[in-house]
Amino acid sequence: MHNNNVVKTPTPSITTTEKPLLADSLSASTPPKPSVGVAGLVALATSGCGGGGGSSGSTGGGNQTSSAASSVAPQPLYTKAEAARFLLQAQFTATDEEILAVRTSGYSAWLTSQFNAPIDQTGAAWLTASGHTTPDDKGNYFNPVFGDWMAWNQLLTGTGQVRKRVALALSEFFVVSLSPIDGFWPAMLIAHYWDLLNAKAFGNFRNLLEDISLNPAMGFFLNTKGNLKEDIASGRQPDENYAREIMQLFSIGLYELNLDGSVKTNAQGHPIETYVQSDITNLARVFTGYDWDYSKVTQQNGFEPYPVPSPEFTGGRMAFDANKHSNLAVSFLGTNIPANTPGADALRIALDTLFNHPNTGPFFAKQMIQRLVTSNPSPAYVQRVATAFNNNGANVRGDLKAVWRAILTDTEARTLLNNTIAGKLREPIVRLTQIARTFNVSSSNGKWEIYDLSNADTHLGQAPLRSPSVFNFFRPGYVPPNTALATHALLAPEFQLHNETSTAGYINMMTSFIQSGYADVKLNLSAIESLAADAKALVEWLNLHLTANQLSTATTDLIQQALEANPVISASSTSAKYDRLYAAILLVAACPEYLIQK
């Protein structure tokens, strides 16, 4: 793999509302602590290096960290709000340390540092360390809830937030859901899938496409596991599920696209379908012959009337059995795979065909932009990201680092548009993760006992790795019916989860979570404790760190006045102070100006 990340699009740092702070303002911010995964950068900043290139309106994509040491304080490249806004698109939180690091190193260099950061602990390793992979007499090997605990532990703890944020976005594109997975070790199955997305999030799309195709959890979810070749005598046909969904959802989509993501039309003005049923029936043959790999499994007796396998089959790739693989010729999308082509070769040819299809770049690019930045990117923005997918600048196609960089440093991402349609609805998983991490969430006993939060009446209406189907929690083309959004032909995918009950369920859950946490999982408000007696400062702190200053003055005034209705001074009781802190966080977390991330 090439590692040469060339950002081809100019990325001026512009907002319509703010100017970059001067260097002396930086000293007023919280002193950097080397406690985050950007320690190297923070060290750079505190030693006074890296001030080069930091003029206002400079490009985010350049290399600003190459100048020699000097005693001058680093010149921040962006305002705090600009840096926070970038961080809240690229990951979950915007702490003071992270804001400082971004302002000092620049967007692109900061991203590079994140791309190079190692994975700290995998989901599978956490399950193992927590004892959830050693069979017990409670039948833990059948229990999927450890998969929920694993997912939340991964999202709420550890470093490598950018990796995890984009892995979450990938999990909503290459969807596998824990919900239908049953049998032995469902938690390990979903953990290995999550770990795969994390491990390959900064790799190449083509490799990822192959890895997910052969992943055991995906094999279960979309039925490649146990998929058998045709049988003329009985009329049995290969299962078509994976062949259909890898085309419709994981690579090319239904209609031919232009590079900018718009739908191509034929002479009659109709969309052009990318494939027909016979393409699916043919491609289905490629995905026959696979099953879970039990070769490394040991059987353990004494738990059930039958042996319990060890969980090795849940990771790696599925096993291939040539005897169960269709040897028929495959003709799909204009590619012909001759009869009797070995299974691995057939798979390679098929995946190459999908990977190299002109749709794949724009199809993937637009949805990733929607996940991270905005529901309604301009065609030009989609085209710039799709171009980076097609060629990272070093003639490599499918370089995911180039895709993330193109999305996050694009002028359209970095410009705070002063219009009435910008941004997207933060999805509930991201809201909870952001707030929990911002307030130093911890577990009192290490269990992270957060169950499936999919119930919209009582919880989030969304839970990581728990999509109700392969079509994700929401569709990229979702338009809320009979709304002004529909009138203006605007997409709003996350609104598919928003209705009269889910809006109440979310606010109720946050009311409880902010104050009491969830099971063993609790917030720590020490970061804002000292602001309890200063409502204005408290609201300012929350506005910057949770919304990148996207609350209007009217809103911050309203919140401040509401908080001041119950006076709190430094001598006030702890409970009075904390009531104010809880209230302040809730008012922000429930506020539409926060929920719509511009």
Partner 1 sequence: MHINKINDMTRRAFLKRAGAVSMMGVGAPLALNLAGISEAAAFEASDYKALVCVFLFGGNDYANTVVPYDTANYDLYSSIRGGGAGRTAGGIALGRNALTATALKTITPQTLTNNIQYALSPELKSMASLFNSGKAAVQLNIGPLLTPLTLAQYTGSDRVKYPLPPKLFSHNDQQSIWQALNSEGATRGWGGYMGDLALSSNSLSTLTCISASGNAVFLAGNNALQYQISPSGAIPIWAAKGSAFNSSAVSNALKKLITQSSPHLLENELAAVTKRSMDLEEIVNAALNPVNLSTSFDRDSKKNSLADQLKVVARLIGARNVLGARRQVFFVSLGGFDTHDGLNENHPKLLAQVDEAMNAFYQATVELGVSEKVTSFTASDFGRTLASNGDGSDHGWGGHHFIVGGAVNGGQFYGTAPQISLTSDDQVGQGRLLPSTSVDQLAATLARWFGVNSSEINSILPNVSRFASSNLGFMK
Of 310 and 556, nearer to partner 1 (C-beta) is 556
- Do the bridges between strand 521-522 and strand 442-443 make them parallel or antiparallel, or are there none, so unpaired? antiparallel
Q: Cβ of residue 339: shortest distance to partner 1, in angstroms?
A: 20
Residues 190/151, Cβ–Cβ less than 8 Å: yes
Among 132, 192, 371, 424, binds partner 1 (CB under 8 A): 424
Q: Choose which of 500, 526, 571, 574 interacts with partner 1 (CB under 8 A).
A: 500
User: CB under 8 A: which stretch of 8-16, 58-66, 164-172, 505-513 binds partner 1?
Assistant: 505-513
- Asked if 354 touches partner 1 (CB under 8 A), the answer is no
Q: Which residue has the tokens 């109700």?
A: 468
Cβ proximity to partner 1, 252 vs 563, nearer residue? 563
Interhelix angle 553-564/574-590, rounded to 10 degrees, is 150
Shortest spacing between CB 153 and partner 1, in angstroms: 27
Q: Which of 157, 207, 241, 300 binds partner 1 (CB under 8 A)?
A: 241
Q: Judged by CB, which is closer to partner 1: 167, or 583?
A: 583
Question: Between 508 and 547, how does the x/- string for binding to partner 1 read (CB under 8 A)?
Answer: x--x---x--------------------------------
Question: CA-CA distance, 334 to 330, in Å (whole number)?
Answer: 10
Smallest CA-to-CA distance from 290 within 243, 329, 248, 358 is with 243
- Cα–Cα distance for residue pair 520/522, rounded to 1 Å: 6
Give the integer Cα–Cα distance in Å for 233 and 587.
Answer: 66
Closest CB 446 distance from partner 1, rounded Å: 29
In angstroms, the Cα distances linking 569 to 300, 539, 559, 588 are 62, 16, 17, 22
Query: With contact defined as beta carbons under 8 Å apart, do 98 and 90 qualify?
Result: no
Binds partner 1 (CB under 8 A): choice among 192, 285, 366, 498: 498
Q: How far is the CB of 399 from partner 1 (least distance, A)?
A: 30
Q: How many residues bind partner 1 (CB under 8 A)?
A: 84
Residues with Cβ within 8 Å of 113's Cβ and at least 6 positions away in sequence, in order, are 38, 40, 41, 101, 105
CB of 9 vs partner 1, minimal distance in Å:
25
Measured from the CB atom, the residue of 35 and 566 that comes closer to partner 1 is: 566
- Is residue 305 near partner 1 by the rule CB under 8 A? no
Closer to partner 1 at the Cβ: 18 or 579?
579
Is residue 440 within 8 A of residue 524, CB to CB? The reply is yes
Task: Tell which residue, 443, 366, 380, has the closest CA to residue 150.
Answer: 443
Residues 365-384 that bind partner 1 (CB under 8 A): 375
Instruction: Indicate which single residue of 210, 211, 239, 412 sits in contact with partner 1 (rule: CB under 8 A).
Output: 239
Interface with partner 1 in residues 149-208 (CB under 8 A): 180
Q: Is residue 335 involved in binding partner 1 (CB under 8 A)?
A: no
Residues 454-493, mask of contacts with partner 1 (x by CB under 8 A): --xx----------xxxx---x-x-xxxxxxxxxx-x-x-
In this structure, are strands 330-332 and 299-300 parallel, antiparallel, or unpaired?
unpaired
- C-beta of 360 vs 467, nearer to partner 1: 467
Give 567-574's long-range contacts (Cβ < 8 A, gap of 24+): 568/532, 568/533, 568/535, 569/533, 570/533, 572/532, 572/533
Pick between residue 36 and residue 175 the one whose CB is nearest to partner 1: 175
Q: Which of residues 381-420 bind partner 1 (CB under 8 A)?
A: 420
If one asks whether residue 102 binds partner 1 (CB under 8 A), the answer comes out as no
| Cβ 222 to partner 1 shortest distance, Å | 8
Positive or negative torsion for Cα 586, 590, 595, 598: negative
**Contact map string, positions 544 to 583, toward partner 1, x by CB under 8 A:** -----------x--xx-xxx-xx------------xx-xx
Window 249-268: residues binding partner 1 (CB under 8 A): 254
DSSP assignment of 478-528, as one string? ---TTSHHHHTT---GGGGG-SHHHHHHHHHHHHHHHHH-BTTEE---HHH
Continuous segment of H or E residues that includes residue 388? helix 379-390
| Smaller CB separation from partner 1, 41 or 228 | 228
Contacting residue, 258, 356, 496, 572, with partner 1 by CB under 8 A? 496
In the bound complex, what is the minimum distance in angstroms from residue 297's beta carbon to partner 1? Answer: 21
